[in-house]
Structure 1
Amino acid sequence: MQAHSVLSVALRAACLLWLFFSQTLYASVDNSEIQALFPKATRIEPKQDNPPVYSVYQLDDLLGYAFESQDYSSLQGFSGKPIRLLIGLEPQGILVGVKVLEHHEPVFLHGLGEQALFDFVEQYRQQDIRTPIVVGGRQATTVDGTSITQFDGVSKATVSVVILNETVLVSALSVARQLLDDFAGSPLATPRSDLFEPLDWQQLLDRSYLQHWEISQAEVEQSLNQHIAYFPDLDIESPEQPFSELYFAYLNTPNTGRNLLGEAGFARLTSELKANEQALLVISSGLYPHVPDDFIPASAPSRLVLTQNDKAIELHDMNYNNGDILGSLNTPISEGVAHIFRIKPHAGFNPAEPASLQLNVSLRRNPLVESSAPFTHPLTLDSTLFDIQAAPAVHKPVPVWLRMWQERGWQVGLTLLALVLLSMVFMFQHRISRHGQAFHVFRAGFLLFTLLFLGLYAQGQLSVVNIFTLLLALGPDFDLTVFLMDPVIFILWSFTFVSLFIWGRGLFCGWLCPFGALQEMLGWIAKKLNIKQLKIADPLHQKLQWIKYVILVGLVLTAFLSLTLAERLAEVEPFKTSITLFFMRSWPFVLYALILLGMGLFVHKFYCRYVCPLGAGLAMLGKFHLFSWLKRIDACGKPCQHCKNSCEIGAIKRDGSIDYGECIQCLECIVILNNDNQCVATISAEKQARKARKRLEQRDIIATDTPWRDAATPTQG
């Protein structure tokens, strides 16, 4: 109980520390990193909020935008953490480059090396995001015939680079749709150009084509909770004077634009608006107009915001008629401030849907004290002025995880077929194991399939890294698609998890682990070479088994504190070196893997028995298996020790019982049990039967001979 309490406290502390570290914000991007993407840049604006980008200029010419991927994509990498990228995009939709700021992909950190990752992202330079980009693949066109750009993938890191590619495209297209005109869709409501009738100012107001909004001094005082006279910047002439009085109108419809601007003015406005751009007229007067006195023409107003669907839509002053708008309007108003604001297509403003104008009031009592309050008014336009279009059917791209399953369809099919076959073998193990020689041939072939196909080709080597990646991913933001990225890994993990509660951990460790298969094959070689096998005494064997459990707990706790450190410590598994990279990495890793394999020549499956943290994790769950499939008989262990002596993994105890936490279910004990020429109990019973038959035969002979003797003996009288 005391050890349990200590472990519980340690786990809670680890979780709290992890929550603390997970709240730490990313370090801000250094301007030198942006400068590397835009070498000609002379000015880099601070990061703006909506959308979060850095605007990059050469003098006053916009070179493009730099942005961080985590602001637009939460797609997790193979490690369970997002790949953080800095992306540069030109106004024409051309990528100027991609820089990796942070990642936790194990295959690049501790396997292939990061240079392979950096070489991959170099392919994005000068790519047009209008053309779909895919990693690998076999087709140069999409289903509808459009061309695509194919990137060279990174061998042994397919999942990581596919996720990175998706991150780049999601981020870049999101920025493009918000800031680049060519990527914005046309509005769902278009003004009817054929609908026009002459209307004066009052008629426009009566029909709400022109809308009026007045904010009184009392409203402002109530919102600010202060008397308006306390603000010295306001030139108050009387208490009845409006704080702010606004008129506004949507100018793209002829009934509004032509009547307010006149025929020539409306034609001029239409020519100045780019495709799918919209215009909004705002006139204001009173103590607080919609722009301050120092407003810069052709900029965005700080006081006025257009909102729709809880989204702020930025307005840009057109500087129409050099700012002299009141003089060109058909209006009775002679004093005030007027502007025509441009609404860009990427804002997605739909004039047929409800919207509102927001006036942000900010007043100073003194240089140190400022009071602020927003005021809103609905902007509702007559739908009869527009042609309402049905929302275009948006073609949703195939999810990246589904694309991975489609591209590896035959691998998925072959893996599923192998698992079905293995399940049948385990379900009918007693019937199949009666044919000992055929069973051994099947097992050898299946282990060869596991090593060559599942391991070396399909990269289906499960790892303890997958376990703590799953633990860190659990939570309200859990995303199953991260684990669907690699179909073979997902299938093997799903099958292994289910099988743990049916057969225990042995089905995976003894049949589906590529590194385990490699170790078993080395055991075959050791027998052929007559290498003497070291027998470890039971007491020492029992103690050494705990090493893998200590390693597992240490790795999981470390993962909650530092994922990067946990990934480094997970190199205790030689899987990446031997199976994933097939020994193509730096010599210390190769030497470590070779030492473990070499020890397996003298101690059968040394790594599996004493070091493997993955096996430890599976054994902990496997203790909850529902059935004990490995049959035992009364003679097992009392006195027969044949299965125990033949069990090379050391999972059969002296009393004949099986330790399912250590058993790899090679089924050798079942082969012995079901073969009359191997099971000692059966052989002994057969000997007893033979002796019994022999005694019966001798008794029959005696019985046959007795009558003859009786006949030859004279009888007495």
Structure 2
Amino acid sequence: MIARVRLLLLLIGLLAGPVTFAQTLEAEIQQLFPKATRIEPKQDDPPVHAVYQLDELLGYAFESTDYSSLQGFSGKPIRLLIGLDTAGVLAGVKVLEHHEPVFLHGLGEQSLFDFVDQYRHKSIGTPIVVGSEKGAAGEGGSVTRIDGVSKATVSVVILNETVLLSALSVARKQLDGFASGPLASARTDLYEPLDWQGLLERGYVQHWTLSRDEVERAIGQPLDGFQNLSLDGDEASFSDIHFAYLNAPSIGRNLLGEAGFARLNEELKVGEQALLVLSSGMYRHVPDDFVPATAPSRLVLMQHDRAIELHDMNFNNGAVMEWLDVPAGDVEANVFRIKAHNAFNPAEPAGLRLNVDLQRNHLVRSDAAFTRDFQLDRDLFEIQSAPDEAEPIPIWLRMWQERWWQVALVVLALAALTWTFLRQHRISRHSRSFHLFRAGFLVFTLVFIGLYAQGQLSVVNIFTLLLALWHGFDIRVFLMDPVIFTLWSFTFVSLFLWGRGLFCGWLCPFGALQEMLGWVAKRAHIRQWKIPDPLHRRLQWLKYVILIALVPVAFHSLTLAERLAEVEPFKTSITLFFVRAWPFVLYAVALLGLGLFVHKFYCRYICPLGAGLAILGRLRLFSWLTRIEACGQPCQHCKHQCEIGAIRRDGRIDYDECIQCLACIVILNNEDQCAASISARKKAGKAAHPPLIATDAMAPVAMRRR
């Protein structure tokens, strides 16, 4: 649709003269508000276009770059046009400009346009989260979920954050119900020792009992037969909940104790608040499979008809459990974080909403929402003017929190690989075990690092780094993808220790795929093409020529450089797993096909990433692959066994080409494989058992033996 509009504007320009940027933007705003009859020029504070139908205000249109400086995965902001009506509902979102490689040169821009189309008619009063979640509430619950884009997780999460930050900034300044009034902060000097009963009587701890009858009336059927209820029995309450606001010392110190309250304040960031929730009964505030440090789907805080998402702090609540006269196993307890950008005012009326989602089977379900209103004692707080809003948790940090287990698994694999390299001589003595380990590691690299965690490094990453150093380095751009960052950090360090081969031979998913095809070629007895050494040496320079051509193009136009970087088949084969236009697939398959006849053909002759790493690898501290006097003079066994062709005729290792598969080290450390060791053993055997020399006295005996 966007492409058609722009084509129409271009045709109009050809017929009626040049179209100004303002006219183009007005046409885009008209699409967001089809009923608009008047679009006002952009005002200064806040920078928005007011949109009217006659004299009725329909809403506001604004550009995201006026409110958010978040950088996309490309290192540049995603520029959006956002429409917001007077009720806080998004009229729509349009992409004005972006540089995200996965959409420009991978999935195609249509998948991006389809993604932003989901924002139409979504209320910003409910947090909008990318991705589905099992058991999550619908749009009337705690969050609104929109579908993500496979293979573009980082880009769409950044885009979503850009939309919400921009829209909420406008809403708080322009819309009733969103504007921040005077805020309240807990009085740190006010403390009174109270026991559990005193906290209940003061209303510092709120007690809410939701009965079976209330729930059955709301869903219109008995509770018997539903699967996700914790208790049986007609007399049990459906849900028995206690909750308390912890920032006030008279509440938090009494519940958590001195040490617990101090620890809570250390963990809370500036402007953040905490809410303790305890529950028992048939339906607790979190399900049995709730993941700590995430947002619950069952529970949400309400204020001014807006839902405020809660985030579990994974806080030890043992001190609180001692207050309750019930076994610890019968009570679920969590401390939830209220983030600063939600502008929750504890001195104003609020409510705790429990979203009930009951499942009879995978087809039949019933849901309802129940809210317990509450008002805290205003004497606990100091009322003050609204301060500058605290920065929300950075996206890069959220990405690390969400993908922590992937990073942990990669770090464990890198630790195992480092240990293997440090103990290479001892490990390589066990030839079969070593080759099995290497094969298993390559499978891990391809399947987990490449296909699942999307950890395929690319020459585009080098462009991004060089441009960042040139225009102003911001490490947050690189922290957006924790797996890529971890792999790049390890690779960068290893370059100065062992050279480029550790990455190319062990951590490159496409390299692992090529090596597996080499296994297939051996099994199928495919005859390998023998490339003469002079031609082999000349072809090796091709990848350096490609790299040298790409780098200056990147400084001229990153978009053009990214297109030319399609010389790498990584995006087609690993990132998109061949789900792409046929020319790209044909190119990738052709390279892999050549690898059946020439071992790792792409790595040896074409890969610009390998060339770049080889240049940096020349700064390595060690030339650590052991050679002996017999290597190359006269022994050529390792040279013939080196499938990558990185051993020269004189026995020297070409570290610029070596992928450090350690096959030569295995040969060297196994006496039944190393030709020099076999020859030395034979000589030693002959020396220990010299041949008999016949004498005249022995001649008759010899004659008789014949």
> Residue 47 of structure 1 is aligned with which of 31, 34, 42?
42
Asked if the contact 2:181/2:386 (under 8 Å) is kept, the reply is: no
> Residue 66 of structure 2 is aligned with which of 64, 71, 74?
71
5+ residue gaps, structure 2, are 1-19, 186-342, 344-381, 702-706
Instruction: Return the letter of the residue paired with 2:639.
Output: K
Aligned equivalents of 1:629, 1:569: Cα separation in 2: 36
The answer on 1:685 being equivalent to 2:674 is: no
> Residue 628 of structure 2 is aligned with which of 625, 633, 641?
633
**SS across alignment from 2:676:** helix
**SS across alignment from 1:501:** helix
**SS across alignment from 1:88:** strand
**SS across alignment from 1:97:** strand
The answer on 1:461 being equivalent to 2:459 is: no
Cα displacement string for residues 639-685 of structure 1 (whole angstroms, at most 9, x for unaligned residues): 11111111111111111111111110000000111110111111111
Asked if the contact 2:425/2:669 (under 8 Å) is kept, the reply is: yes
Aligned equivalents of 2:66, 2:528: Cα separation in 1: 58
**SS across alignment from 1:591:** helix
Evaluate the alpha carbon distance shift between residue 499 and residue 475 of structure 1 in structure 2; reply closer, same or farther with a 3 A threshold: same
Aligned equivalents of 2:180, 2:66: Cα separation in 1: 22
The answer on 1:600 being equivalent to 2:600 is: no
1:83-102 to 2 correspondences below 5 Å: 83-102=78-97
Asked if the contact 2:181/2:385 (under 8 Å) is kept, the reply is: no
**SS across alignment from 2:81:** strand
Aligned equivalents of 1:172, 1:444: Cα separation in 2: 51
Evaluate the alpha carbon distance shift between residue 171 and residue 392 of structure 1 in structure 2; reply closer, same or farther with a 3 A threshold: closer
> Residue 578 of structure 1 is aligned with which of 540, 556, 573?
573
Aligned equivalents of 2:604, 2:426: Cα separation in 1: 29
The answer on 1:538 being equivalent to 2:533 is: yes
Aligned equivalents of 2:473, 2:143: Cα separation in 1: 32
The answer on 1:409 being equivalent to 2:404 is: yes
The answer on 1:493 being equivalent to 2:488 is: yes
Aligned equivalents of 1:557, 1:661: Cα separation in 2: 23
Corresponding residue number in structure 2 for 1:526: 521
The answer on 1:421 being equivalent to 2:393 is: no
Asked if the contact 1:140/1:150 (under 8 Å) is kept, the reply is: no
Corresponding residue number in structure 2 for 1:400: 395
**SS across alignment from 1:74:** coil
Asked if the contact 1:636/1:655 (under 8 Å) is kept, the reply is: yes
Aligned equivalents of 1:653, 1:107: Cα separation in 2: 40
Shift of 1:69: 1.4
Aligned equivalents of 2:130, 2:477: Cα separation in 1: 17
Corresponding residue number in structure 1 for 2:558: 563
Evaluate the alpha carbon distance shift between residue 188 and residue 452 of structure 1 in structure 2; reply closer, same or farther with a 3 A threshold: closer
**SS across alignment from 2:118:** helix
Asked if the contact 1:140/1:147 (under 8 Å) is kept, the reply is: no
Aligned equivalents of 1:618, 1:81: Cα separation in 2: 25
1:440-451 to 2 correspondences below 5 Å: 440-451=435-446
**SS across alignment from 1:82:** coil
Instruction: Return the letter of the residue paired with 2:25.
Output: D
> Residue 158 of structure 1 is aligned with which of 129, 132, 153?
153
The answer on 1:618 being equivalent to 2:613 is: yes
Instruction: Return the letter of the residue paired with 1:589.
Output: F
Evaluate the alpha carbon distance shift between residue 401 and residue 630 of structure 1 in structure 2; reply closer, same or farther with a 3 A threshold: same
Corresponding residue number in structure 2 for 1:370: none
Aligned equivalents of 1:394, 1:67: Cα separation in 2: 20
Farther-moved stretch of structure 1 (388-397 vs 60-69): 388-397
Instruction: Return the letter of the residue paired with 1:82.
Output: P
Aligned equivalents of 1:33, 1:173: Cα separation in 2: 21
The answer on 1:437 being equivalent to 2:432 is: yes
Shift of 1:53: 1.7
Shift of 1:49: 2.6
Evaluate the alpha carbon distance shift between residue 469 and residue 436 of structure 1 in structure 2; reply closer, same or farther with a 3 A threshold: same
Asked if the contact 1:451/1:515 (under 8 Å) is kept, the reply is: yes
Shift of 1:118: 1.1
Asked if the contact 1:80/1:470 (under 8 Å) is kept, the reply is: no
Corresponding residue number in structure 1 for 2:167: 172
Evaluate the alpha carbon distance shift between residue 139 and residue 392 of structure 1 in structure 2; reply closer, same or farther with a 3 A threshold: farther
Aligned equivalents of 2:391, 2:42: Cα separation in 1: 31
Asked if the contact 2:547/2:608 (under 8 Å) is kept, the reply is: yes
Asked if the contact 1:140/1:149 (under 8 Å) is kept, the reply is: no
> Residue 505 of structure 1 is aligned with which of 478, 484, 500?
500
Evaluate the alpha carbon distance shift between residue 639 and residue 46 of structure 1 in structure 2; reply closer, same or farther with a 3 A threshold: same
Evaluate the alpha carbon distance shift between residue 74 and residue 474 of structure 1 in structure 2; reply closer, same or farther with a 3 A threshold: farther
Corresponding residue number in structure 1 for 2:509: 514
Aligned equivalents of 1:601, 1:40: Cα separation in 2: 61
TM-score, normalising length: structure 1: 0.64
The answer on 1:549 being equivalent to 2:544 is: yes
Corresponding residue number in structure 2 for 1:479: 474
Evaluate the alpha carbon distance shift between residue 643 and residue 32 of structure 1 in structure 2; reply closer, same or farther with a 3 A threshold: same
- What is the total number of aligned residue pairs between the two structures? 482
Shift of 1:563: 1.5
Aligned equivalents of 1:189, 1:512: Cα separation in 2: 52
Farther-moved stretch of structure 1 (176-185 vs 101-110): 176-185
Shift of 1:390: 7.7
**SS across alignment from 2:133:** coil
Shift of 1:141: 7.2
Corresponding residue number in structure 2 for 1:362: none
> Residue 674 of structure 1 is aligned with which of 669, 675, 683?
669
Evaluate the alpha carbon distance shift between residue 497 and residue 562 of structure 1 in structure 2; reply closer, same or farther with a 3 A threshold: same
1:212-231 to 2 correspondences below 5 Å: none
Aligned equivalents of 2:662, 2:63: Cα separation in 1: 54
Instruction: Return the letter of the residue paired with 1:96.
Output: A
- The two structures, once aligned, show a CA RMSD in angstroms of 2.7
Aligned equivalents of 1:658, 1:155: Cα separation in 2: 42
Evaluate the alpha carbon distance shift between residue 137 and residue 629 of structure 1 in structure 2; reply closer, same or farther with a 3 A threshold: farther
Asked if the contact 1:70/1:84 (under 8 Å) is kept, the reply is: yes
**SS across alignment from 2:499:** coil
Aligned equivalents of 2:173, 2:181: Cα separation in 1: 13
> Residue 110 of structure 2 is aligned with which of 115, 131, 144?
115
Asked if the contact 1:85/1:101 (under 8 Å) is kept, the reply is: yes
Shift of 1:88: 0.6
Cα displacement string for residues 97-144 of structure 1 (whole angstroms, at most 9, x for unaligned residues): 0011122222212222222111111111111112211112637779xx
Corresponding residue number in structure 2 for 1:57: 52
Aligned equivalents of 2:167, 2:502: Cα separation in 1: 45
Shift of 1:395: 7.3
Instruction: Return the letter of the residue paired with 2:82.
Output: I
Aligned equivalents of 2:75, 2:546: Cα separation in 1: 21
Asked if the contact 2:62/2:83 (under 8 Å) is kept, the reply is: yes
Evaluate the alpha carbon distance shift between residue 188 and residue 447 of structure 1 in structure 2; reply closer, same or farther with a 3 A threshold: closer
The answer on 1:131 being equivalent to 2:126 is: yes
Q: Work out which of the two has the higher radius of gyration on C-alpha atoms and give 1 or 2.
A: 1
Instruction: Return the letter of the residue paired with 2:93.
Output: V
Corresponding residue number in structure 2 for 1:259: none
**SS across alignment from 1:127:** coil
**SS across alignment from 2:564:** helix
Evaluate the alpha carbon distance shift between residue 475 and residue 187 of structure 1 in structure 2; reply closer, same or farther with a 3 A threshold: farther
Instruction: Return the letter of the residue paired with 1:471.
Output: L
**SS across alignment from 1:92:** coil
Instruction: Return the letter of the residue paired with 2:656.
Output: G
The answer on 1:644 being equivalent to 2:639 is: yes
Shift of 1:188: 6.2
Corresponding residue number in structure 2 for 1:256: none
Shift of 1:525: 0.8
Corresponding residue number in structure 2 for 1:294: none
5+ residue gaps, structure 1, are 1-25, 191-347, 349-386, 710-717
